[in-house]
Structure formats: C-alpha cells, structure tokens
Structure 1
Amino acid sequence: YRTREKIVEREVQVTLTVNMTNTTEGNETVITEIQKFPELIDVGTGKPNVLGIVMFAILFGVMLGRMGERGKPILEFCDCLVEVTMKLFTVFLWYSPVGIAFLIAAKIVGMEDFTVLLGKVGMYFITVLIGLAIHGSIVLPFLYFITVRKNPYTFIYGISQALATAFGTSSSSATMPVTLRCLEHNNHVDTRVASFVIPVGATINMDGTALYEAVAALFIAQVNNRDMNFGQIITISITATAASVGAAGVPQAGLVTMVIVLAAVGLPIDDVTLILVVDWFLDRFRTMTNVMGDSLGAGIVNHYSVDEMPPLEHEMHDLDSGKVPNGQQDTTPV
C-alpha cells in the first residue's frame, strides 16, 4: 500500500509543479504560488506534424490490409476517395496554365531582381536532371548488375519503347501495358512476375518523384534564404520518400505530395508555384526514371524466383512435345 501511495504521489508531483516566488512590496513580503503544467504538446506553433500523419497513414494502411474482409469497406472508401481526388486534380490541371501565369506574375512583381530568380530556377532544373540521370544511368543499373550479374544496359534497351511512352505520357500507369509487353517479349521476364511487380511498382515505387521532391524542397528553402540543418534535411528525405509512395501514377501527381514535404519543414507552400514553370517537363524525366526502376526491379525479382515457380500451362505443353521454353537452354544429355 505504501509503495502504491508513493507512486501516486510521484506522478502528481511530476504532473503539477508549484513554484514559490518571493516578491517585496515596500516593507511586506508576498509569497506567490505559480503552478506550471508540463507542455506535452506544443500548440503554439500551429504547424501540423505532417511526418507523423504520413507514418500513421502507412501503418493504418498496413493494418487495414491485414484485417481482410472486415477492412474491405474502409479500403473501398479510401480507393474511392483517392479516385475522386485525382479526378478533381485532373480538372484543375486543365485550368492550371491560367492560374500559374497569375501566380508567377505576382511573384515577379514582388521581387527586386527577376533575373536572379530565373537563374535559380535554371540551376534547379539542371540539378534535377543531373540527379535523375545519375540515378537512372548509374545507380539503378549498378543494383541490377550486382544482383543479376548481367549487362543492365541490354535490359534497358529492351524497355526503350516503354521509356519513350513514359516520356510522352508522363504517367507510369498509362505506360504499364507497354512496360509489360517489353518485359515479357524483349527481356523474357516471366508473365507472373511482371504482372505482379509492375502494377505494384507503378503505385509505390516512385524513386524519381522522391528525388525531385527533395531537390525542390531545398530549392524553395534557398529562395527564401532558409538554411536547412542536418535534421531538417533528413526530415525532407524521409518525408519525400514516404510521400512519393502515396503519389498516383498520373501526370504531375508529385505536386500534390510536394505540399506535404514543404509543410514538414515549415516552408511556404505558396512557393510551389516557382517550380510549376518547369514541372511539366521534369515530370517526363522522372516518369522515365520511375518506369526504369519498376522494370529493373521486375528483372531482379525474376532472376531470384523464376527457378522456384512452377511452369505455365503452355510451357508444360512445350515440355511434353519436346520443345524448350523461352529463356532456357536444353540440358538433356546426348
């Protein structure tokens, strides 16, 4: 009983702190009690915990998927909500040129030297292109090479039609049929592997979008003369990666999640208009990077799983008739 009483007393002492303050007024001393409650939540900043919201959404989605049939109504509601949001966003894109023109005009009027901003936008444009080029031509092929031990550029040549389609449509979802055809016919990826990896990759594997959003956030910080410390840079990286997972595979969908990244580090959301001028062109290159990452990922999964999967029905028929399936060598002893 005494132990329990001490625990309660200690908790009350932590929760409520009483400070005794002595003040002298003339010849009298007044003792004032000041009660301070611990501030568990800082409500004075008025900034939402965006990173916490993103992490909660990811965990909520994982738990919702594990619930099976009981979570299906909420899952269908979320899918419908996403579809309605993207349809509204598509309608807004039709009128975006007019709005962008006025927003940029307002920024130009409020600046002392427009050429400085123009130079910064140009450097931002070049930086994103260089980053996407390094990621798409060096990092992704290197990962494919060290896992599959084959020439990655031969594999990339086999999906060149899909990359061209991605550049033209700016949508990894619209490019999906072409990507599947290139993987199955040109690179001989198993149909089951391609049909599983590519739709999942077109939904959550947005490495080009994550790179673009991180660079864009740093660019907006530099325009506003804000120095980002190491912790804020890590926050931008994590938030951009997590937000890109929720980006839809439609043109310029990264602008929707870009707001989350800016809000996570307290940058002005209105400055997203600075990157709208070149976003339509950069979107094509980051879509190519996304499609390339999905395709190389399918090639890696195919390399590790093709020998463990049972053959398809037409392959069984070919084996019965004495034919050798595509991509395999005849090892029958003579």
Structure 2
Amino acid sequence: MKHFGLLARLITGIVAGTLIGLCGGWFGIGDSAGFVAVVRLFATFTSLFSSFLSFMIPLIIVSFITVGLAELGKKANRLFGITLLLAYGTTVVSGFLTFFIGKAALPHLIQPIIGNVLESNAFEPFFTIEMAPVFGVMTALVLAFTLGIGMANIKGQSLLGVCRDLQKIVTAVLSRIIIPLIPVHIAGLFCNIAAEGRLFATVKMFASLYVVILILQFVYIVSQFGLASIVCRKNHFKSMKNIAPAYFTALGTQSSASTIPVALGCAYNNKVKEDVADFCIPLCATINLNGDTICLVLGAMGIMLANGLTPTLAMFAPYIMMLGVTMVAAPGVPGGGVMAALGLISSMLGFTNPMQQLIIALHFSQDSFGTATNVTGDQAIALMVDRFDDLQEAKN
C-alpha cells in the first residue's frame, strides 16, 4: 500500500463506497436488513472518525501554530520578513479574489440541494462515542498565539521543547492514523450519499467546484509570475518553463517538503542566487499554501450554497485572514492544509460534520494540484526575494 498513492486510495474509496451505496437500488435490496446493516456499519465508522477528528483539531492548532510562531519569531535572516510578508500577502489576496470570483460564478453552477439532504441521517450509526475536545477551537487559537508569540520573545527552550514533542505526537497521529483512514472515511461518506439517493447532486457539486478550483489555481500561477515580472522589471513568464520539474514532482508526491530538492534546482535554473534559494524555497514550502487556500475558500462557498446557505464577505473576510495565518503553520503532510483549517471552518463558518466531511473529500481529491500550485508559487516568491536582496546589497 505504500506504493499505492493517497490520491489513488481516495479514488478507490469513493468508487467502492459509491458502488456499495448504489447496490440497494440496483438489486432492489435497499430495504433489506443486510444492506441497511452494511450502510450503517460505514455510518458508524464515519461517526467515530468524525468524533476523533473533532477531538484532534484543537491539538493540531495548538501544536503546529505554537511551534510555528515560536520558530518564525526566532529567525533573524534579513530576508525572512520579506518572504513571510509575500507569502501571507499573496495567500490573503488569493483568498479574497477566490471569494469574489466564487460569489459571481458559483450561484450559477451550484443550486441548493432540496430539503438540505446533506444533513440527512437516513442510515443511523449503530452507536456513537462522544469525544469532547480538551478545549474549543477559538480557545486553542488564542492559546497558540499567546504561547507562540510569548516563546519567540522570551527565547526560552523548555516549553518550546514540550510543544515540539506534542507536535511530533500530533504529526504521528495525522500521518499514521488519520491520513491513512481518510479513504475509508470518504468511502463511508459516499456510501451513505449513494444509499440515500443524493449521489447525482453531490457529484455535480464536486465537479463544478473541481473545475473552478483548477482554473483558479492555474490563473494564480500565471498571476504570480506576472507579479514577479513587475517587481523584478523583467519578463519572468519565460521562467515558467523551468518550473515544470517541480510542478510535476509535486503532482506525484502531494508534498511540498518532498519536492524541495527539485524545487531548488528549478530556482537555480531561474538564476536565483544560491543563498537566497537555499533560504527561500524550504521556508516557502511550509508557509506558502495558496493552492490550499483557493480550495478551502471556494470549496467552503460551494458546500454552503449546496446547503442553502449564503456565503457573505462579512463571514469570509475574518476566515480568510485567519486562514492565511493557519496555512503558515499547517503540518507538512498530504492533506495537512485542510486538517489545520478544519477548526476555522467549523467555528467561523459553522460547518457541521457532514459538511466537514465533504470539504475533506474535495481537498484530498485536488491535493496534488494544490501542492503543485504551492510549489510553483514558491518559485515566483524566490524571484521577488532575490530582487529585494539585490536592491538591499546595492544600498549597502
């Protein structure tokens, strides 16, 4: 299974769950005890997994944002502030542009699913287990900011070491338990959707969102190199041909971190100075997640529209601003972006468990392209940082 990629496992889970759910209609056994038991078994797993995920979300926020802020605050490189500002700024801008484009396009593509059936519970789980989080999401965010900024200022190591150990534990839970079980979780979701007769509406919603997300990610890549051309006063659209190895490596690995060696080679080929590239590319691999931001903003809007809810700027503006911060500290594992953002999605947008399951499925299905978008954006930021470094050296 190690050689069976996460995307392939996810697709297998979607297909398997859908086929099982459709069997009731195909063979006329929709009301039989055996079929109902199978669907309820999937529903039980999905319920338990969702509860465990809700329990983990505050711990994910505290462990990653705390350590991320503490370590970012300790960096003294003179280019660090510029890189961080570019990464956060482009993330927020891409989030707002995605919102306005989604506001204009999505109402014509996605109609409310009659009866709010995304919340349907026709096949109840056999049992549920309440796994109450240690504290709420907003408490976790405030605690993470307080501890992270505090540790960056006092320059202490004891508490930071404890937080790093917690981060390692949470990372292990993500990479060894949650991420491997995601395909089973998604299979249960689509099994339930198909069994309840709402497959077509859900697939249509997914297809519409998927197409728009991929288009926006491509537009983002082009716009980033357009911005780099303006900042550097040089046509960097020609530089796009040199980023192909990093783009396609990211498509296969679904990991910005795993793509760093290839991305460094691409930066060197684009004439970025080695010391700038060696600093900027690894840093951006963890703090520049525009591809995830586009998916998490547009996907959230689409799922809300399908539920008969209206996404507003007043609702999404704080979400996008906080999402930019959260993406800086998102765990460097496939799907880490959506896992880090689930707390914001539930607390700030009011997503219920079924809605959270849908955005997890959407994010994982496009994660290869999202990662490739992130990695490509890193190259444009490296070009701009290299230009700022040249200007700084000229002043000195």
Same fold (TM over 0.5): yes
SS of the counterpart of 2:168? helix
Separation in structure 1 between the aligned mates of residue 170 and residue 341 of structure 2, nearest angstrom: 15
Gaps of 5+ in 2: 1-134
* 1:148 and 2:232 matched: yes
**1:87-236 counterparts in 2 under 5 A?**
87-92=172-177, 93-109=179-195, 111-138=196-223, 140-184=224-268, 186-236=269-319
Q: Letter of the aligned partner of 2:353 in structure 1?
A: I
Separation in structure 2 between the aligned mates of residue 233 and residue 307 of structure 1, nearest angstrom: 37
Moved more, 79-88 or 160-169: 79-88
Moved more, 158-167 or 276-285: 276-285
Counterpart of 1:262 in structure 2 is: 345
SS of the counterpart of 2:215? helix
**1:275-290 counterparts in 2 under 5 A?**
275-290=359-374
Q: Compute the displacement of 1:105 (Å).
A: 1.4
Counterpart of 2:386 in structure 1 is: 302
Q: Compute the displacement of 1:74 (Å).
A: 2.0
Q: Deviation digits for residues 232-260 of structure 1, max 9, x if unmatched?
A: 12133223222222212221112212312
Task: Report percent identity of matched pairs.
Answer: 26
Q: Compute the displacement of 1:51 (Å).
A: 5.6
Q: Say if 1:199 and 1:66 are closer, same or farther in 2 by CA, change over 3 A.
A: farther
**1:74-89 counterparts in 2 under 5 A?**
74-89=159-174
Separation in structure 1 between the aligned mates of residue 145 and residue 203 of structure 2, nearest angstrom: 38
Counterpart of 1:45 in structure 2 is: none
Q: Letter of the aligned partner of 1:165 in structure 2?
A: T
Separation in structure 2 between the aligned mates of residue 287 and residue 221 of structure 1, nearest angstrom: 24
Separation in structure 2 between the aligned mates of residue 170 and residue 77 of structure 1, nearest angstrom: 29
Q: Compute the displacement of 1:75 (Å).
A: 2.0
Separation in structure 1 between the aligned mates of residue 365 and residue 247 of structure 2, nearest angstrom: 15
Q: Answer with 1 or 2: which has the greater Rg.
A: 1
Q: Compute the displacement of 1:190 (Å).
A: 1.6
Separation in structure 1 between the aligned mates of residue 246 and residue 374 of structure 2, nearest angstrom: 11
Q: Say if 1:55 and 1:275 are closer, same or farther in 2 by CA, change over 3 A.
A: same
TM-score (norm 2): 0.60
Greater per-residue strand proportion:
1
Higher relative contact order at CA 8 Å, sep ≥6: structure 1 or structure 2? Answer: 2
Separation in structure 1 between the aligned mates of residue 266 and residue 312 of structure 2, nearest angstrom: 44
Q: Say if 1:199 and 1:80 are closer, same or farther in 2 by CA, change over 3 A.
A: farther
Separation in structure 2 between the aligned mates of residue 49 and residue 298 of structure 1, nearest angstrom: 37
**Conservation of the 8 A alpha-carbon contact between 1:203 and 1:246:** yes
Q: Compute the displacement of 1:55 (Å).
A: 5.7
Q: Deviation digits for residues 61-90 of structure 1, max 9, x if unmatched?
A: 23322222xx22222222222222122111
SS of the counterpart of 2:316? helix
Q: Compute the displacement of 1:173 (Å).
A: 0.5
**Conservation of the 8 A alpha-carbon contact between 2:281 and 2:382:** yes
**Conservation of the 8 A alpha-carbon contact between 1:180 and 1:195:** yes
Greater per-residue helix proportion:
2
Separation in structure 2 between the aligned mates of residue 103 and residue 229 of structure 1, nearest angstrom: 27
Separation in structure 2 between the aligned mates of residue 239 and residue 49 of structure 1, nearest angstrom: 16
Gaps of 5+ in 1: 1-47, 311-334
Separation in structure 1 between the aligned mates of residue 271 and residue 317 of structure 2, nearest angstrom: 39
Q: Deviation digits for residues 99-124 of structure 1, max 9, x if unmatched?
A: 32112212333x45421121111111
Q: Deviation digits for residues 243-280 of structure 1, max 9, x if unmatched?
A: 22221222111221231232122111332322444434
Q: Say if 1:183 and 1:59 are closer, same or farther in 2 by CA, change over 3 A.
A: farther
Separation in structure 2 between the aligned mates of residue 81 and residue 309 of structure 1, nearest angstrom: 41
Separation in structure 2 between the aligned mates of residue 210 and residue 52 of structure 1, nearest angstrom: 23
